[in-house]
Amino acid sequence: MAKKKAWGGRFADGTDRFVEEFTASIPFDILLYRQDIAGSIAHARMLGRRKILPRAEADRIVAALNGILQEIESGKLSFDLSQEDIHMAVEQRLTRKVGKIGGKLHTGRSRNDQVALDLRLYLRGEIDGILTLLDKVGERILARAEECYGVVMPGYTHMQRAQPVLFSHHLLAYHEMFSRDRDRFREARRRANVSPLGAGALAGTTFPLDRESVAEELGMDGVCENSIDAVSDRDFAADFLYACAVTMMHLSRLSEEMVYWSSTEFGFLSLPDALCTGSSIMPQKKNPDVAELIRGKTGRAYGNLVSLLTVMKGLPLAYNRDMQEDKEPVFDSARTVKECLVGAALLIEGMAVDEERMRAACDDGFLTATDLADYLARKGVPFRKAHEITGRIVRYCEGNGKRLKDLSLKELRSFHPGIGEEVRDAISLSHSVRLRNTRGGTGPEAVRRRLEELKKR
């Protein structure tokens, strides 16, 4: 039969072996040991300050908790399923070390506020790590945008060549996405960094706890205002999972572009050997697996968000054991986002850009057709009309296997008599890019301005 439980008082019989395994969270919430011990230390200190426990007892508990932290950190302590979860495991070890007074640590506390605290502290730490990695990715993007400044590539809509853009401008689009991701993580951190301790099981506690000082000691910005909400709320975890999902969406789009840009068909860039793998049968293959896996792992980040939202949707207040299912999605998304940010930084840093291929790709596909229409519009032709005339010119080119720049002035004039020699310049690639200097545009001056702004941040 299983060992005696901390809550075993009202039970006549032991727990079924299957139930013990089925309900245990220690195999995964062991990850929370640092947060759990930090929360317990802050709680014990406060119990001492408030004379809810004799000072000396509180001090012994704190010292023993510090010892347990070291035991776990050095791999000297292992836990088993009968201990249920990290909270019980730490408390049991504490009681082994200090005897009966270990049982006083849980005064004025419940696992329900304890687990909410642990997860909040854990997320705070993970978010700080993710923010650092997001910064790294941002820096790499800026460095490459600076280095490739002036390189022209086709911009696409519907995956059809649309208008020429600076490659730097395209890269900086990702920078904008990742800086919004930063904002989302910072917001998630702000929401997570509030202490639920003192909520007890759900109704608050009969002991004169000093909730604020515990929060302060843990570096939190405040305390949860409603004890029922404090133990029922997992919005903060959903915020985190949403921030992860959106970041993964951005990483996935970047990865997708790297996959096809590095294909033989595009050849816009090549990825370093160190970041690719080969095929077991086709000797010529060099596959962009890192980019593909980042794209692929986006699925689990989305799944984790939906998973938590679904766990929570039908739960009556306050704590229900269903909520134990919050942890694995959160742990998985945190790990996934971190490793994918590391991979993305390597890809951005390692890619070799083929300037010639990019420019050559701008030659076909009538990329400056909009510029021709704009040219006519500047001559006073209403834009709609200019659009139609240009459309007919493109059709003519297609029928005759010509590019816009292959047309003679005579041919062009046959579509509109106002077209003059200066049209050559108007439909040139460099001119097309150069003119788009409105704020946020791809013109070299606009891109330079934004690049400098971002570098200053």
Return residues touching ligand ARG (CB under 6 A): 25, 29, 85, 111-112, 115, 319, 321, 323-324
Supply the minimum distance, in Å, between the C-beta of residue 7 and ligand ARG: 8
User: In the complex with ligand ARG, which residue's Cβ is closer, 158 or 313?
Assistant: 313
**Closer residue to ligand ARG (CB): 7 or 260:** 7
Asked whether 431 and 425 are in contact (CB, 8 A), the reply is: yes
289-302 b/e (C-beta count within 10 Å ≥ 16 → b): bbbbebbebbebbb
Q: Which is nearer to ligand ARG, 29 or 126 (CB)?
A: 29
For residues 246-278, one letter each, b for 16 or more C-beta atoms within 10 angstroms of the residue's C-beta and e for the rest, the string is bbbebbbebbebbbebbeeebebbbbeeebbee
CB of 332 to ligand ARG, least distance (A): 15
Other beta carbons less than 10 A from residue 288's beta carbon: 23
State the catalytic residue, choosing from 74, 78, 158, 280: 158
Question: φ and ψ at 223, to 5 degrees?
Answer: -120, 150
For the chain, the residue count is: 457
Q: Please, which residue, 58 or 121, has the CB nearer to ligand ARG? A: 121
Q: Alpha-carbon distance 32 to 114, whole Å? A: 11
| C-alpha closest to that of 207 among 198, 215, 216 | 198
The DSSP code for 99 is G
Distances from the Cα of 391 to the Cαs of 205, 358, 370, 385, 423, in angstroms?
Answer: 76, 25, 10, 10, 16
Helix (H) or strand (E) holding 209: none
* Residue 264 to residues 156, 259, 269, 363, 365, Cα–Cα distance (Å): 18, 10, 10, 18, 19
Tokens of 109: 């506390």
Instruction: Please state the closest distance from residue 6 (CB atom) to ligand ARG, in A.
Output: 11
**Distance, CA of 327 to CA of 304 (rounded, Å):** 10
Q: How far is the CB of 327 from ligand ARG (least distance, A)?
A: 6
| Two structure tokens written together for 267 | 């050849």
Smallest gap from residue 74 Cβ to ligand ARG (A): 25
CB of 325 to ligand ARG, least distance (A): 8
Q: Is the Cβ of residue 89 or residue 404 nearer to ligand ARG in the bound state? A: 89
C-alpha 286: how far from its chain's center? 28
Taking the least distance from each CB to ligand ARG, the nearer of 313 and 321 is 321
Tell me the angle at which helices 383-400 and 369-378 cross, rounded to the nearest 10 degrees.
Answer: 140
- Among candidates 130, 116, 35, which has minimal Cα distance to 334? 130
In the bound state with ligand ARG, the residue whose beta carbon lies nearer, of 111 and 191, is 111
Question: Considering 279, 280, 307, 431, which one is annotated as catalytic?
Answer: 279
The CA distances from residue 58 to 39, 117, 393, 422, 427, in Å, are 14, 20, 86, 86, 79
C-beta closer to ligand ARG: residue 92 or 287: 92
* Least distance between ligand ARG and beta carbon 317 (Å): 14
175 has catalytic annotation: no
> Does residue 279 have an active-site annotation?
yes
Query: How near is the Cβ of 180 to ligand ARG at its closest, in Å?
Result: 32
User: Element (H or E) spanning 87, and its range?
Assistant: helix 86-98
Positions marked catalytic: 158, 279
